[in-house]
Structure 1
Amino acid sequence: MKRTMTTPDYLRLVASLDNLDRSIVSLLQADGRMPFSRIAREVGVTEKTARTRVLDLIEQRVMQITAVTDPSVLGYGSAALLCMTNRPDRPASEIARQLQNIPSIDYVVVSASHFSLFAEVLCRDRAALQATIENEVGKIDGIQTIEIVPYLSLHYQLAHFAAAQNKAPSETGVRPREIDGMDVRIIRSLSEDGRKPFLQVAEELGVSEGQVRLRFKNLSDTGTVSVIALINPMSLEFRSMAWVGINVAAGHSVKDVADALARLANTTYIVICAGRYDILTEFICQTDRELLDVIDQSVRSLQGVARLEVSIYSNLFYKRLSTIRDEAISDQQERAGA
């Protein structure tokens, strides 16, 4: 079974963005397909300047505009968070640079916690996941221990960081939903380039532009996909970030606790897991004080939370997911949305 997967570079962390770039990124985090003409009006520059700034940010790998969705739509059937410690003679930052070169790893964290490194691994299936851990991660010199936290279900993600910080009651984020084959193909096309014209998508898929436009609106409205500007949060001054591993008390529903976490401000990512934790949640804040308040006042008080473990980020390497292309996809699946 032949499989190919592109491996784009990680999003580059920049010390700071100027006010214009920050404003443009903020608009594209809210709507990655916003026309250049509207961006120009919103930030008070010419359309040419807005276009140049956006293209420069993309070319410099500061941001990518893509479709954020359930990874299974892109072909990833198995995922896990690897929680690792390093030997004292090998700095965690050096190991992180090696981890980020593994194609199946999309997210690497250097942490000041019980675990010094975290890496999110996404693969086609469990066999590929196990092979990645054994043949690639496990062979990196300096890793002392690896604890695998398998994902059972992606529950929630919200890569629009300002919306996460000031979460509206109506905010639903992106969640897994049942979709047909044509919807899958539309999302996969936009994952390559979130600003790709609908006409081009339609021509690729052999359908009308109107059908693509209507389907995309429905996918967006239902929270199945969101086309936004992805950027390393630390480039936007969200410098206080943490994984929070949660164990749910007996007699309480893991999904109910995950739903409650999704409603909290500053929550950007929630997975239901097996292993050490029942739930893994990512929080993104601007200051340690803000992070402390969220954890102490909001998370600890949630009904059903029995225990939590906080792992503070020291550094983050982050890239967008590319579609796993499998030439053995059945004709039946391809025809499902035709």
Structure 2
Amino acid sequence: MTDAVTPMPHTGPDVEFAGLDELDRDLIFRLQIDGRLPSAQLARELQLDQRTVRRRVERLLDEQVIRIAAVADPRALGYSSMAMVCLTTAPGANFGAMYDEICAMREVDYVTRTTGPHSIQAEVMCGSERELLEVLTSFEAHPGIRSFEVLRYLRLHYQRAWFSDTDRSPQPRGVRPIGLDPTDHRMVSILARDGRTKFAALSYDLGISESMARKRYQALTRSNAMRVVAIANPLHLGFSATSWVAISCNGAAGWSSVAEALTQVDEVTYVVLTAGRFDIIAEIVCGSHEHLISVVDAHIRAISGVERAEVWPYLELRYKPLLPH
């Protein structure tokens, strides 16, 4: 396989974050709406002193419960070749070691262990076709992998790294692929590393005035090209029935039409048009298996153009920051 990089944050369900109480969850929810909310405003909204809020947020960041960063089209970060690779391990292979090895690959940013036809799904983000081919070749040559299926991304249609909570107010809609100019690209790259970078530092790095930096940031968020949020593992926030849904279309409606209909389902957080055995893959984030069944039956299979939907519930999820390529 390709060379590994610094180990990923521990974001699988095997890691317990002691003391994640209602205040922590409330802070996470608010920072998922706007990751740049200042401590003073959070303190006012929660009727707490600012020092308590600042310490709580710092703890959540230090323990890697959350990471505050820009969510945007991966192409804005230099990733032009992307795919979901669904893997089956060979008989006798050490599954745990294989899973850890895949998670640590430089090109892999999101790994799920699921029930279904494949035991592991790895999202591969590459800067070129050659780089993607090298990753696939390494999978093919690995003795621990019995088989794999490639779902090549044609378009990442929609993504939302924040999760609905029916007991709270509605959250903003997700990010969509929108053309950006070079300055916007640089702003997205800076905020992907640290979503709380101050506007004064942004203006200096971009070579523009602070007021212009604010205007550009506001334009990016208003157009849904980017949003800065607290990124968290949904399994840690009580969404225990999170799942991939692999969809085949029947031609009654175009791919884009089906993909757009999926974005109107509150529980859908990720929609990709793919080449391969499936036309679309989507992620749904649910609090229970009954909720998941209801979403799939009442909302996804009911969409015009959906012929078949396979559900692959998560047993484990690990991810790492998608930094500029």
TM-score interval (norm. to shorter)? over 0.9
- The code of the aligned residue for 1:43 comes to L
Q: Runs of 5+ in structure 2 lacking a partner?
A: none
- Per the alignment, residue 117 of structure 1 pairs with 120
Q: Shift of residue 213 of structure 1?
A: 0.3
- 2:181 alignment partner AA: D
Question: 2:57 matched to 1:58?
Answer: no
**For residues 203-254 of structure 1, what are the alpha-carbon distances to aligned partners after superposition, in whole Å with 9 as ceiling and x for unaligned?**
1121101111000001000100000000111110111111111111124210
Distance 1:200 1:286 in 2: 39
Distance 1:209 1:21 in 2: 32
The number of residues matched between the two structures is: 318
RMSD: 2.1
In 1, Cα distance between equivalents of 2:61 and 2:93: 33
Q: 1:194-213 alignment to 2 at 5 Å?
A: 194-213=195-214
Counterparts of 1:71 and 1:196, CA distance in 2: 20
Provide, for residues 56-115 of structure 1, a one-character-per-residue CA deviation record: whole Å limited to 9, x for no partner: 211212211000000000000010000111124235443221111101100111111111
Partner residue of 1:37 out of 34, 37, 40: 40
The 1:307/1:164 distance shift into structure 2, 3 A limit, reads farther
The aligned counterpart of 1:323 is 324
Q: How far 1:44 moved relative to its partner? A: 3.2
Amino acid in structure 2 at the alignment position of 1:9: M
Gaps of 5+ in 1: 325-338
Q: In structure 1, what residue type is equivalent to 2:9?
A: Y
Greater Cα shift, 38-47 or 115-124: 38-47
In structure 1, distance between residues paired with 2:244 and 2:104: 22
CA distance in 2, matches of 1:189, 1:33: 14
Q: Does 1:157 align with 2:156?
A: no
Deviates further, 79-88 or 290-299: 79-88
Structure 2 equivalent of residue 248 of structure 1? 249
TM-superposed deviation, 1:141: 4.2
Give me the whole-angstrom Cα distance separating, in 2, the residues matched to 1:25 and 1:312.
24
Could you list the per-position Cα deviations for residues 123-163 of structure 1 after superposition, in whole angstroms to 9, with x for gaps in the alignment?
0011101112223x445442211111100001001111026
CA distance in structure 2 between the partners assigned to 1:155 and 1:7 by the alignment:
29
Question: In the superposition, relative to structure 1, how do residues 115 and 125 fare at CA in structure 2: closer, same or farther (>3 Å)?
Answer: same
Contact 1:82 1:120 in 2 (8 A): yes
| SS in structure 1 at match of 2:285 | strand
Once residues 64 and 26 of structure 2 are traced to their aligned partners in structure 1, the CA distance between those partners, rounded to angstroms, is 17
**1:284: which partner in 2?**
285
- Whether the 8 Å contact between 2:5 and 2:105 is mirrored in structure 1 is no
Percent identity of paired positions between Structure 1 and Structure 2 = 35
Aligned-partner Cα distance in 1 for 2:258–2:168: 20
Task: Return the offset for 1:22.
Answer: 1.0
Secondary structure (helix, strand or coil) at the match of 1:322 reads coil
Q: Secondary structure at the match of 2:87?
A: strand
Matched, 1:146 2:148: yes
Residues 273 and 280, structure 2, Cα contact 8 Å, conserved in 1: yes
- Would you say the 8 A contact 1:167–1:265 is kept in 2? no
